Chains A and B, each alone.
Chain A
Amino acid sequence: MTGNSRPLILIADDDPDILSLVTLRLERSGYEVMGAGDGEQALAAAIAQPPDLALLDVMMPKLDGYELTARLRGNEATRHLPIILLTARVQESDIVRGVEAGADDYVRKPFSIQELRERVQAALGR
């Protein structure tokens, strides 16, 4: 945690368009955002500077969202980090898998920015 009053959110997505869209939206909503283009980057960033919240895409090269969640939960620094999974998958098995890996919530793609904001605020408020 920094002294900065703005919460730091880690966003990981292999789609740069979505990455920059979410970054832009969250920054404009008053959050500190750090982005990552794949799972490994995201893991490194999170360990280097633990964020207040992580938004993780499920389908990413190198390290997918489930695996990343599991790793973060396995690390002392990020053990209690709130994690929201972003997924285009709709099947129940996907959600179950996410919860098992340690995610706190999930948001289905496509999402509206309003919905995302609400979920982020909810996760941070906990």
Chain B
Amino acid sequence: MTRSTSAGRPPRLVLRFAVYSALALALAGTGILWVVRHEAQVHAERELTSEATSAAATLSTELRKADLTEPVTSPGRLAALDALFAPELMSGVVRVKLWRHDGTVTYSNEHSLIGTRVEAEEIDEVLAGRTVRERGRLNDEGGTGKNIKTISAYVPLRLAEEQKPRGVLELYNDYRPIEAQVVATVKPVALTLGLALLLLFGSLFPILHQVTKALEHRSDRLAQQAEELERILNERRQAVAGLHEAESRYRALVEQLPLVTYIARLDAWSSTVFMSPQIETILGYPAQDWLDDPQFFPRVLHPDDRDRVLAQHADAHKTGRSFSIQYRMIARDGRVMWFEDSVTIVNDAEGKPLQAQGFLLDITHRKAAEVALSESEERFRTLVANVPGVIFRCSIDDDWTMEFLSDEIDELTGYPASDFIGNKVRAFASVIHSEDAPILTQEVEAAVAEERPYTIEYRTLHRDGSIRHVVERGQAILGRDGETKLDGAIFDVTQRWTAENERLKLASIVESSDDAIMAASLDGRLSSWNSGAERVFGYTAEEIIGKPIAILAPPGREHEQHSLFEQITAGQATAHLESVRRRKDGGLIDVSFTFSPLRDASGAVIGASAIAHDITERRRAEAERERLLLELADQNERLRELDRLKDEFVALVSHELRTPLTSIRGYLELVLEEEAGALTDEQRQFLGVVERNAHRLLALVGDLLFLAQVEAGKLSLELGAVDLSAIAVESVETARPLAEGKDITLTLATGPLALITGDRARLAQLLDNLISNGVKFTPPGGRVDVRIKGQRGNAVIEVRDTGMGIPSEEQHHLFERFFRTAKATEQAIPGTGLGLAISKAIVDAHGGQIAVASADGGGTTFRISLPIRQAQPTEEEPVEELAL
């Protein structure tokens, strides 16, 4: 309780005291008033009774006997009685009744009541000689007039000279005057009393107030003290309880602790100096046994642990270091018990090791639990390791952070499980195929939300770059730490997936094959029918499956099927059987059949597969080919004939053109040598023209014949060791007069070059062609440069001019016979269009290459490369065909 709350108390308490004292005073006042009032009332009533008694005494003479035996009815008697009981004669009486003893009213000044009967006990009482008073209302028992409050008095009526009351007289008095009288008596008393009480209360209140205050103050202090006392008491109680608890705990600890303390010597046996008595309850040997036998400790040590323990003890004796060791001892009853021994080496004042003291803790149960736990773990590990899948527990986060992951993951991903635990090296998310990751997340979230297990197939990436197909089954569980985890297993289904894929691929190959592929059971009924078969035979799969395969054999060939199935049953295949089969529309087709046995997993033949290739078209093609071959042979024959004719023609041309030319040249020579007489200058000039043209004609014939030979494949080279540089010198010198005539600079550069194997005359012809071409197509003032060099086992000839160039679109045709560039034609540069064709033929015959590089208007370079073959030491014998 605090000061602030006790501050509100005094007014309440004072009020209470005030109310209580006021009530007490009021009660006292009321009591006094009640007594006064009662006394006044009784007094008034007594007065009334005495009045009634006196009246009754008076009436005893006036009343007749009949007035009380029968109700008065005669008017005369009524009037007499009315006069007798006239209100004027009796003050305050408002009604009079005369009662017969049985309760019948014989008379009343209220006439209507005469003859009424009321069972009134008072009557008997009154007849017995007593007076009775009764308060009520005037008309309670009938009658007229104002129903006012009355007090009635019953008195016995005795007639004159009679001892026994004959009836009862009841007088109803108006009670109001009595009341008024009482009030008049009480009123001053009440007033005086009230005033006195008020005064008393007034003088009492301040005293009360003060007393209350003092009381309250004291009561507050008492409450505080009580509180303080209670607190102290509580503390005491708690302290006492704590002490009790600690005491009992320690006692229990000490009593139940499987801890044994000991002190041992630092000798070879660690012989015991002191051993606490608990040892007996633990090992069964009393402590004294240890003290009596210095070798007791080694004796009870488990033989397997003995050397190790003693060595450790000995080591500690030397180093003085404390240590802890676990070992087994054999109990008296033979049980093997595990102990943890914590040994401290105690040193003397000089710091020298004095003795060992230690605690032996019985850890047999702990060991057993450890073994059980490790066995259980081992069982779990073995179980997990033997499951052909990856077992995991992970968090539901972006990384799929692994809490547990079995070693099988190494097989699946090439990474050890430890890599993934807690995302140590990599997150599991990193081995999920990126295309599948969103689906996995989605499925897992849905499964977690619906609290159901899930199964999902996705791909993972192996360290070696391969993709694995896996099925994961899992379910969310509430982890011990309150986090929702995912427990599940991942199975590598790559093989199944691959096999399924392979199967689908094969099925698709079979289905898409143009060949008819079908299968039949051993009884010859078709069980499989691809779309190729539908096309080839015209039956749909629905139509034919279940029908005998013989349906496809044309009449007369049904037996083929029989022998084929005999072979199949024997496990033999029949390949490329060419036969005839019947289509649905009755048409016959040529097919090539391959029948193979179908085997089940055990290798037993269960049916046959057949591949039928429609060879109708092939047969037609074969016939066509034979026809064409015959035709071709015919044509070849004609061609051979033509070839022969051509040869003859070439020979003819050679002879028929050359012979006249021989004459022309011969005679020209005669004339020019002036064998037929002296010539004038003009004659000599004209004959020169003839000779030049004869020479051109001869050259043309020579070129044509050369190409005819090439064409006929009859070009033969007269091979020998050739000095290309020497040939080049000759060719350049031959072309020099022509070049000088056009004011063209003609140069030759030769590098060191071995002899090559070739036909000297042909190579000379080649160089002549290229150089004269260069000069021919180079405008005056330009230059033609010839280079000969060796390059990587080849002899290279380059002829570069500054001529008009060759447009690239014309370069392709350059080496064709009779091709002339547009410019050559335009500018009327003489030529036959055979030179480069011949050049290429010569180069080809030597196994070399010729190339042209040119830009329109920017000059042209011909580049020839000839292989340098080791020249055979054959006699070089050039045959000058066109020599002059």
Q: Does B372 contact A (CB under 8 A)?
A: no
Chain B residues lying within 8 Å of A25, measured Cβ to Cβ, are 666, 670
Report which of A18, A92, A112 forms a contact with B659, defined as CB distance below 8 A: A18
Q: Nearest-CB distance from B8 to chain A (Å)?
A: 153
What residue of chain B has the Cβ atom nearest to residue A94's Cβ?
A: B651
Within 8 A of A (CB), among B697-733: 698, 705, 709, 714, 716
Q: Is the interface of B mostly helix, strand, loop or mixed?
A: helix
- Looking at the assembled complex, report how far the CB atom of A8 sits from the nearest CB atom of chain B, in whole angstroms: 21
B670 touches A24 (CB 8 A): yes
Pairwise interchain contact B669-A91, C-beta atoms closer than 8 A: no
CB distance from B684 to the nearest CB of A (A): 18
List residues of chain B with CB within 8 A of the CB of A92.
Answer: 714, 716
**CB-CB < 8 A to A18: which residues of B?**
659, 662-663, 666
B133 at the interface (CB under 8 A from A): no
Query: CA separation between A22 and B655, bound complex, in Å?
Result: 17
Contact B654 A110 (CB under 8 A): no
- Whether A88 lies near B655 (C-beta < 8 A) is yes
Q: Which A residue's beta carbon lies closest to that of B882?
A: A110
A21 contacts B651, CB within 8 Å? no
Which A residues are CB-close (under 8 A) to B658? 88, 109-110
Let me know if A15 and B663 touch, CB within 8 A.
Answer: yes
Number of A-B contacts (CB under 8 A): 64
Q: B654 to nearest A CB, angstroms? A: 5
Instruction: Answer whether residue B199 sits at the interface, using C-beta atoms and an 8 A cutoff.
Output: no
Chain A hits for B655, CB < 8 A: 59, 88-89, 109
State whether the Cβ of A76 lies closer than 8 Å to any Cβ in chain B. Answer: no
Least CB distance from A66 to B in Å reads 13
Contacts of B544 in A (CB 8 A): none
B222 smallest CB distance to A (angstroms): 158
Q: Are A111 and B670 within 8 A (Cβ)? A: no
Asked whether A112 lies within 8 Å of B654 as measured between CB atoms, the reply is no
Q: Mark B843-884, 1 if CB is under 8 A from A, else 0.
A: 000000000000000000000000000000000000101011
Q: Does A90 contact B (CB under 8 A)?
A: yes
- Cβ of A126 under 8 Å from chain B: no
Q: Which residues of A contact B656 (CB under 8 A)?
A: 88
B670 touches A109 (CB 8 A): no
Report the count of interface residues on A (CB-CB < 8 A).
22
Decide: A88 and B667 in contact? CB cutoff 8 A: no
Within 8 A of B (CB), among A76-126: 88-92, 94, 108-113, 115
Are A108 and B666 within 8 A (Cβ)?
A: no
Per the bound structure, the CA–CA distance linking A97 and B659 in Å amounts to: 20
For B, the interface residue count at a CB cutoff of 8 angstroms equals: 27
CB contact under 8 A between A21 and B659, given known A91-B651, A91-B709:
no
Known contacts A21-B667, A90-B705, A91-B714: does B651 contact A110 (CB below 8 Å)? no
Instruction: Tell me the minimal C-beta distance from A54 to chain B in angstroms.
Output: 18
**Residue in contact with A88 in the complex, picked from B662, B675, B879, CB distance below 8 Å:** B662
Q: How far is the CB of B713 from chain A (nearest CB, A)?
A: 12
Asked if B661 CB lies within 8 Å of chain A CBs, one says yes
Instruction: Indicate whether B665 reaches chain A with its CB closer than 8 angstroms.
Output: yes
Chain B 91-114 interface residues, beta-carbon cutoff 8 Å to A: none
Complex Cα distance, B258 from A7, in Å, reads: 152
Chain A residues within an 8 Å CB radius of B665: 110, 112
Known A-B contacts A88-B658, A90-B881, A91-B651; A112 and B669 likewise in contact (beta carbons under 8 Å): yes
Task: Provide the residues of chain B in CB contact with A88, threshold 8 Å.
Answer: 654-659, 662
**Cβ contacts under 8 Å, A59 to chain B:** 655
Query: Which A residues between 19 and 73 are near B, CB-CB below 8 angstroms?
Result: 21-22, 24-25, 28, 59
In the complex, residue of chain A having the shortest beta-carbon distance to the beta carbon of B698: A110
Residues of A within 8 A of B669 (CB): 112-113
Bound: A108/B883 CA distance, A: 11
In Å, the complex CA distance between A17 and B716 comes to 32
Contacts of A17 in B (CB 8 A): 660, 663, 666-667
B497 to chain A, nearest CB (A): 73
Q: A21-B670, A24-B670, A113-B669 are in contact. Are A89 and B663 (CB under 8 A)?
A: no
Are B654 and A90 in contact, with the CB atoms below 8 A? Answer: yes
Q: What is the distance, in angstroms, from B697's C-beta to the closest C-beta of chain A?
A: 10
Inter-subunit contact B883/A112 (CB<8 Å): yes
| 17 sample A-B contacts, Cβ–Cβ < 8 Å, listed by A number | A15-B660, A15-B662, A17-B663, A17-B666, A18-B663, A18-B666, A22-B666, A25-B666, A25-B670, A88-B654, A109-B658, A109-B661, A110-B658, A110-B666, A112-B665, A112-B883, A113-B669
Q: Which 4 pairs from chain A and chain B are nearest by CB?
A: A110-B662, A88-B658, A17-B663, A88-B655
